[in-house]
Chain A
Amino acid sequence: MSVKIISEECVGCEMCIESCPFGAIVMKDDKAVITDDCTSCGACESVCNFSAIVVEREKAEEPEDISSYKGVWVFIEHRDGHIRNVSMELVGEGRKLAEELGEEVSAVLIGDNVAGMSKDLFASGADNVYLAEGSAFKNYTTDAYTIAFTHLIRKYRPSVILLGATNDGRDLGPRVAARVKTGLTADCTSLAIDPDTRLVAWTRPAFGGNIMATIFCPNHRPQMGTVRPKVFKKPEPDYSRTGKTIREELAIKAEDIRTKLIDVVKVCSVSCNLEDAVFIVSGGRGLGKPEGFRMVEELAQVLKGTVGSSRAAVDAGWMPYPHQVGQTGKTVAPKIYIACGISGAIQHLAGMQTSDVIIAINKDPDAPIFKVATYGIVGDVYEVVPALTARLREVLQ
């Protein structure tokens, strides 16, 4: 298995050089040459218009009959009796994919006493709800949910599975994918059906948001992916819609569950569910003191938003870690991200640069945050932020 250039076919157009994320293609005597830096990722193969690049793969084992897999499934995440927004967003998007494929979209609902949520799922576009109920599913555990999910997959054979890219979705997804031995694309920000192959084209950021990659899962089923919250719109519910419920009785043995939830600890005085937030107001070291976050919280409150923090402010002990946005914190993409006294170190930008609108407030006109900001105000945060809070309070009332 390796990537090879067919010298006779290569016209020296250099298209492949740009396509290589590892800088492993160089020109030699006007022909492309693969260097030792090649990781055999195969990204160059499709950009060559002259079929001069081949990725040699060993023959896979007898492929399973993948055409027997049908339908788009969405894993429904819920906490305290409420379906999480991201799951609803994915039911809406799953419906679009399913319509394009001419197939059905189904919700996978696992929990204790959760059947009542089915009507919301039908209203949001689900054709079917696969329901696994029981006390073993009261709290999320990797093991119980994996057993239920893989049972459903093996029995009903879906073609596509979407999960929210939340902590639980990213815990369950890889466990299930490894059990059924299929591909999983993490943290997608865009989904499409490839017109030629009818495969799902999963697009996701990598390298701290510096590049985007589109991934296929050609020969394994189901095709699985986790999708970031807030990428897709929550569908408008239509409660005249109905659907079919497929109830599965599953006996989970106690010894099959290897982890147990023994306590839930809240450390955030205000919500720190940043991934689901529509508005985020973040503070950084430019606030100068921990009390500065009170002002940030006030602005967040007016917007019904969530408070974020730069790493510097977390490291200084001004905010707890769950609020941290950036490479070693959370990746967020709200409708509006307001950065107060944040200089914009690249590790911070990696966590928020895909926000729809970025507003930066900083006294240093050369701060890198202004390079990504949609709107910037150069000034003292202690003047600008309270003024903004007051003005928004007026207009939003």
Chain B
Amino acid sequence: MEIVVCVKQVPDTTEVKIDPVTNTLIREGVPSIVNPFDKYALEMALQLKDKHGGRITALSMGPPQAANALKECIAMGADQAILLSDRAFAGGDTLATSYTLSAAVRKMGNVDLIICGKQAIDGDTAQVGPEMAEHLGIGQITYVSNIEVDGERVIADREQDEGYDVIEARLPLVVSIIKLPTDPRLPTVKGTARAYRTEIPVWTAADLDIDVKDVGLNGSPTLVKRIFTPQRRGQGEIIEGDSKNAVDLLVDKLMQAKII
């Protein structure tokens, strides 16, 4: 089975801090990580490979340093990786990005299963997976916590409000993954050594069968008009007193403020 796992290198948003004076993001010193949901996607791919064999390719679009994220995927067990990097790809929204990624999948040929994380923690859109499926003209199952493959047949658990739906489909397919019951495996010593040796191939716009008008900023219907930091919550109020008194006071305050 040929599996592609789509990976994004993202700033660790839990490390992002706001400058209290200018009220802007402090990005210095914020580490870049593999998007956490993409690690679950890779773990899902590795579990399928453990059962059925096959080959896993980690695919990313980003600046040259995104190669580091791909090396981490190889250290975890991906067989190979491809980086799509070109100034022409920069500034792409989800439509342009998904178009670029799907062009790379087409070029690879004969891909059975494309696994994405449900969303990236910087943009939080959850759109690239389904949009790739549309560009490739294949089916999609989103918000998946487990995949079973039997020949061409795929059974996936898709998250719903009260539990999950069980969905049947056929390969080829795009699947987007939520958190799995098991944590993503850690890089192995052997894998890390292999990642260190591996040169990640970089594909540019010229390597893909695309129209440059459809990638990057040019191919993006949406436009960021303004970015601002949200109004910060005012410092709250600590209600003093023993449990009973504090609770009575709290409920009084909630009622006075007509919150309940």
Chain A interface residues (CB < 8 Å from chain B): 1-2, 18-19, 21-23, 36, 38-43, 46-47, 55, 57-58, 60-61, 79, 142-143, 167, 170-171, 173-175, 177-179, 181-187, 194, 201, 205-220, 258-268, 271-273, 276, 303, 321-322, 324, 327-329, 331, 335-336, 345-347, 350, 353-354, 356-360, 365, 370-380, 383-384, 387-388, 391-392, 395-396
Contact = CB atoms under 8 A, between A and B. Distances in A.
A187 to B, nearest CB: 6
A327 B213 CA distance: 34
A303 B242 CA distance: 23
B230 A212 contact: yes
A206 B221 contact: no
B244 A347 contact: no
A373 B236 contact: yes
B123 interface: yes
A384 B247 contact: yes
Contact of A268 (B13, B163, B212, B242): B163
B167 A214 contact: no
B107 interface: no
A388 B179 contact: no
Contact of B140 (A41, A175, A184, A265): A175
A177 B133 CA distance: 12
Interface in B169-217: 169-170, 173, 178-179, 181, 212-213, 216-217
A220 B218 contact: no
Contact of B139 (A142, A347, A359, A372): A142
Nearest to B216: A1
Nearest to B240: A378
A372 B134 contact: no
A175 B221 contact: no
Nearest to B228: A212
B67 to A, nearest CB: 15
B236 A175 contact: no
Given A60-B218, A214-B225, A387-B244, A346 B14 contact: yes
Given A174-B98, A259-B140, 4 more contacts: A186-B94, A208-B14, A211-B227, A336-B259
A211 B226 CA distance: 10
Shortest 10 CB-CB distances between A and B: which pairs?
Answer: A183-B221, A40-B91, A258-B139, A178-B134, A183-B222, A208-B13, A263-B166, A186-B125, A220-B221, A174-B130
Contacts of A271: 161-162
Interface residues of B, number: 96
Given A58-B213, A327-B121, A391-B251, A377 B230 contact: no
Contact of A212 (B222, B227, B237): B227
Contact of B248 (A47, A181, A328, A391): A391
Nearest to B250: A375
Given A18-B24, A378-B238, A187 B167 contact: no
A301 B246 CA distance: 21
Contacts of B28: 23
Contacts of A142: 130, 139-140, 142
B160 A167 contact: yes
B127 interface: yes
Contacts of A211: 25, 227-230
Given A23-B28, A212-B230, A377 B122 contact: no
A332 to B, nearest CB: 13
Interface of B: 11, 13-14, 16, 18, 22, 24-25, 27-28, 36-37, 63, 87-88, 90-91, 93-95, 98, 121-131, 133-135, 138-143, 145, 155, 157-170, 173, 178-179, 181, 212-213, 216-218, 220-230, 233, 235-239, 242-244, 246-248, 250-251, 253-255, 259-260
Nearest to A79: B161
A259 B139 contact: yes
A21 B226 contact: no
A28 B157 CA distance: 54
Nearest to A142: B140
B15 to A, nearest CB: 8
Contacts of A384: 243, 246-247
A142 B165 CA distance: 14
B224 A43 contact: yes
Contacts of A360: 236
B143 A167 contact: yes
Nearest to A19: B227
B170 A258 contact: yes
B92 to A, nearest CB: 9
Contact of B222 (A19, A215, A370, A379): A215
B246 A377 contact: yes
B237 A376 contact: yes
B227 A43 contact: yes
Given A384-B243, A391-B247, A178 B163 contact: no
Contacts of A43: 224-227
A273 B159 CA distance: 11
A69 B125 CA distance: 25
A178 B139 contact: no
A262 B13 contact: no
Contacts of B213: 58, 60-61
A217 B95 CA distance: 12
A265 B157 CA distance: 9
B161 A273 contact: yes
A182 B93 CA distance: 11
A266 B124 contact: no
A210 B93 contact: no
A361 to B, nearest CB: 9
B19 to A, nearest CB: 9
B135 A264 contact: no
